């Protein structure tokens, strides 16, 4: 795939749904002077992060091998899960909270395999069968988890997870960021600005009850 095809802003119809961060003015005020600004600085302004030795941030992102957060050792917790869905790993959040961390960067990316889960199901089942799983068990497992991890679209999938985490952990700053695989630059999904203007109740109403169930 060409670099252009892997650009979130030039392809995939994402360009109009992402806000670019080209200067400090493009960063929401409540993220300034926080670890969120530091992370954006490392990716977009070539400003390496200086670690204090204390954990500053939790990064939640996809398992995607083409993306590595540009962070130093001794700075952030990182929870990587398919599609950046933290469902089932909420315990990790209780741990980082206990360690004093109050900022989460939820990083989505373009060209995510979790948009292709439905067509990948047979391959996933075969992968488990090759590990000596019984076929019935492999089929049930893939069926149940596919519903949890699949997303129609990377930006909508990220919004769904953001709203869910927002409701579960309302006293933490959660920053939805979106990385373009082609450039490693971070963007802000435009829905976030609408979210900031809307009432907390309306955001709460958008969380599906089944999304709040922890497995
Ligand atoms: Zn992904």
Mean pLDDT confidence for 185-190: 97
How far does residue 158's CA lie from ligand 1's centre (Å)?
10
**Across all residues in the chain, what is the average pLDDT?**
91
Can you say whether residue 202 is alpha, beta or left, with left for phi > 0 and alpha for psi between -120 and 50 degrees? alpha
How far does residue 61's CA lie from ligand 1's centre (Å)?
8
Q: By CB neighbour count within 10 A (0-12 exposed, 13-18 middle, 19+ buried), where does 51 fall? A: middle
pLDDT at 204 over 70: no
Q: Which residue has the higher pLDDT, 167 or 87?
A: 167
How far does residue 211's CA lie from ligand 1's centre (Å)?
19
Question: Tokens standing for 119?
Answer: 């067509």
How far does residue 84's CA lie from ligand 1's centre (Å)?
7
Mean pLDDT confidence for 175-191: 96
How far does residue 138's CA lie from ligand 1's centre (Å)?
22
Q: Which of 33-37, 88-92, 152-156 reaches the highest mean pLDDT?
A: 33-37
Confidence of residue 206 (pLDDT cuts 50, 70, 90): confident
How far does residue 66's CA lie from ligand 1's centre (Å)?
9
pLDDT at 10 over 80: no
pLDDT at 5 over 80: no
How far does residue 60's CA lie from ligand 1's centre (Å)?
11
pLDDT at 159 over 90: yes
Confidence of residue 1 (pLDDT cuts 50, 70, 90): low
For residue range 52-111, what is the model confidence (pLDDT) as tens digits? 999 999 999 999 999 999 999 999 999 999 999 988 888 999 999 999 999 999 999 999
How far does residue 146's CA lie from ligand 1's centre (Å)?
14
CB under 8 Å, gap of 24 or more: what pairs does 144-152 form?
A: 146/117, 146/118, 146/121, 148/85, 148/87, 148/88, 148/215, 149/82, 149/83, 149/85, 149/114, 149/117, 150/83, 150/114, 150/115, 150/117, 150/118, 151/83, 151/112, 151/114, 151/115, 151/117, 152/115
pLDDT at 14: 80
Query: Are 186 and 179 in contact, with CB atoms under 8 Å apart?
Result: yes
Domains of the chain, each with CATH number or no CATH: 1-111+155-195 (3.40.1050), 113-150 (no CATH)
Mean pLDDT confidence for 32-54: 97
How far does residue 150's CA lie from ligand 1's centre (Å)?
10
pLDDT at 215: 45
Spatial CA neighbour of 155 closest among 144, 163, 166, 146: 163
pLDDT at 214 over 60: no
Please report, rounded to a whole number, the percentage of residues in the chain having pLDDT higher than 90: 76
């Amino acid at each position: 795939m060409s670099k252009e095809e892997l650009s979130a802003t030039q392809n995939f119809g994402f360009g109009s749904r992402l806000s670019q961060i080209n200067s400090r003015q493009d960063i929401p005020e409540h993220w300034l002077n926080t670890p969120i600004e530091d992370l954006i600085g490392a990716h977009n302004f070539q400003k390496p992060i200086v670690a204090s030795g204390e954990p500053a941030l939790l990064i939640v992102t996809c398992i995607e091998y083409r993306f590595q957060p540009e962070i130093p050792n001794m700075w952030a917790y990182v929870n990587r899960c398919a599609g950046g869905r933290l469902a089932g790993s909420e315990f990790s959040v209780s741990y980082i909270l206990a360690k004093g961390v109050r900022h989460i960067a939820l990083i989505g990316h373009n060209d995510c395999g979790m948009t292709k889960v439905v067509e990948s199901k047979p391959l996933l089942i075969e992968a488990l069968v090759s590990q000596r799983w019984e076929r019935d068990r492999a089929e049930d497992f893939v069926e149940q988890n596919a519903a949890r991890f699949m997303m129609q679209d990377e930006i909508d999938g990220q919004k769904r997870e953001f709203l869910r985490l927002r409701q579960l952990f309302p006293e933490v700053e959660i920053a939805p960021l979106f990385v373009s695989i082609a450039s490693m630059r971070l963007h802000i999904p435009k829905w976030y600005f609408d979210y900031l203007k809307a009432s907390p109740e309306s955001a709460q109403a958008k969380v599906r009850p089944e999304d709040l169930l922890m497995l």
